[in-house]
Amino acid sequence: EPMAQLLGLPREKLLGAPLHGFLDRSGQTELSRWLAECRDGRCGVFETRLVRPDGAVRWVQVSAGPLPGEHGQPDGSLCMVTDVTDRIQARGLKRQLDHLRRLDSLGQLIGGIAHDFNNLLTVVAGSAEVIAGEAVPDSTEHRLATEIVDAAVRGRALAHQLLAFGRGGGRVVTVSVTDLLDDVKQLLSRTLGEHIQLNISADADVAPVRAERGPLEQALVNLAANARDAMPRGGVLTIQATNVDIEPGQLDDPATSGRFVRLVIADTGAGMDPETRARAFEPFFTTKSTAAGLGLATAASIVRGGGGYIQLDSEARIGTTVRLYLPAAAESAAPPVAAPDRGQAHGHILAVEDQPELAQLIRHLLEPAGYTVTVLTDPQQAMAGLPDGVTPELLLTDVVMPGMTGPELAAALNERYPGLPVVYMSGYAAAVFDPRTGDEETNVVQKPFNRDTLLAAVQHAWRQRG
């Protein structure tokens, strides 16, 4: 009776039915080995899966042993079957939880490394820019300093990719799709390998989208990495962006409709069979022994979390196509920050940065523009009281510092100096901001920055003050 309940069959249909018919493909392969061991007089305990007539799968533990005959020789097998589905599922959930914890720890570690890396890049690039500005144009010193600045810019792109993995929950902004694809192209051209041809295109009128830029880049990188792994002998990866209008019911989700930007990521790789394709979006499902099985699941989570939709088409030996439908933004993407006014400026800036080298670099970048700069490396110094005669007209502060965050310092100083404009410097993602300061009006200059970027942010904050 318990076996009949386990298999979902009436008892009368179960008697005499071969065990082979209820095993999955792997279990059928192992069955002959189990029986051979029993014939040799050996006992064994195995775990396998039983497939019910309705398609449901149950994990069972089979304890098998030889059944003695008339002369003491094995004359059949005796099997005790125990349903262990709950135990197996609990074990799988624990494994997934442990994996998620390791990923979370890894994300925090990567975020911290990227923050420190951005600080170093800021010092390197800023110092090189100062040297280039003082060197004779076209001299060896000028050329070498310029090459250092260019290398730091490339390093910034890598650091931002680390932050996209290590930190989540950033600000939703209006993202230019063409700019996004340009940045992704630079990264993928280095990571895909020379054996893969990369083709990226976008319609001239493609609309911007509302999204968290870092996670969206991460989703595209994940999909490209999957495509690379599917083309070990080379192939073509194509990414194309177009505007589309989706009618209700046009996609599998009837609630998805409206104006979208469709990103099509197609490869000419190995493709998937129907069984693999059906499970492709499951977290931790993978056909590669060295993979975590999170690439496609993470991309789907990012797209759906932003109100988008994802489709997957794949055929074995033909290739895979993933379509991302991202909600189009009503407004245009913010234009690039205007170049700063190179005329002599006036005003007293209080710069608070806990890294001494970076703090002094800020002084070197701002003072030639005409600003008076007071530099502190401890936010508590600013709270305890500024030197006599120092009345800040703008606060330039790091976001993450020991003992006090930049937003906390800004709020405290605003009580002493009402209306004090603030520019934040950050090597982290926007998720570290307090919700009250995390809107798009917050002036944030991302590390590593150069002189023009810093001056433009300072001047923008002053113009906002009016």
pLDDT at 285: 66
Say whether pLDDT at 34 is over 80: no
Say whether pLDDT at 279 is over 70: yes
Residue 130 lies in a domain: no
Among 461, 457, 451, 424, which residue's Cα sits nearest to residue 149? 451
pLDDT at 340: 52
Q: Which range of residues forms the domain containing residue 15?
A: 2-83
Name the least confident of 101-105, 303-307, 357-361. Answer: 101-105
Share of the chain above pLDDT 70, in %: 80
Check: CB of residue 79 under 8 Å from CB of residue 3: no
Q: Which of 83, 112, 147 is the last residue of a domain?
A: 83
Q: 359 and 245, same structural domain?
A: no
pLDDT at 245: 93
Q: 273 and 204, same structural domain?
A: yes
Q: 182 and 54, same structural domain?
A: no
What sections of 285-423 are H helices per DSSP?
Answer: 295-305, 356-366, 379-384, 406-416
Please give the mean pLDDT across all residues of the chain: 80
Q: Which of 83, 111, 128 is the last residue of a domain?
A: 83
Q: 362 and 279, same structural domain?
A: no
Q: 392 and 298, same structural domain?
A: no
Residue-wise pLDDT for 388-420, tens only, equals 777 899 999 998 888 888 999 999 999 999 999
Q: 365 and 327, same structural domain?
A: no
Strand partners, 239: 200, 265
Strand partners, 174: 210
Say whether pLDDT at 265 is over 90: yes
Distance CA 364, CA 265 (A): 45
pLDDT at 434: 47
Name the least confident of 101-110, 184-193, 213-222, 315-324. Answer: 101-110
Q: 299 and 402, same structural domain?
A: no
Say whether pLDDT at 343 is over 60: no
Between these two residues, 38 and 280, which has the higher pLDDT value?
Answer: 280
The enclosing domain of 199 has a CATH number of 3.30.565.10
Q: 306 and 208, same structural domain?
A: yes
Residue 186 lies in a domain: yes
Between these two residues, 453 and 345, which has the higher pLDDT value?
Answer: 453
Name the least confident of 79-83, 205-209, 248-252. Answer: 79-83
pLDDT at 440: 45
Residue 245 lies in a domain: yes
Residue 425 lies in a domain: yes
Q: How confident is the model at residue 375 (pLDDT cuts 50, 70, 90)?
A: very high
What is the average per-residue pLDDT within 425-441? 53
pLDDT at 430: 47
CB-side neighbour CA atoms (13 Å) of 79: 19
The enclosing domain of 367 has a CATH number of 3.40.50.2300
Between these two residues, 378 and 157, which has the higher pLDDT value?
Answer: 378
What is the average per-residue pLDDT within 13-24? 72
Q: 432 and 388, same structural domain?
A: yes
Among 318, 343, 302, which residue's Cα sits nearest to residue 170? 302
Q: 460 and 371, same structural domain?
A: yes
Q: 315 and 195, same structural domain?
A: yes
Residue 294 lies in a domain: yes
pLDDT at 68: 75
pLDDT at 58: 80
Q: 435 and 326, same structural domain?
A: no
Specify the number of domains making up the chain: 3
Q: Is the pTM of this model over 0.85?
A: no
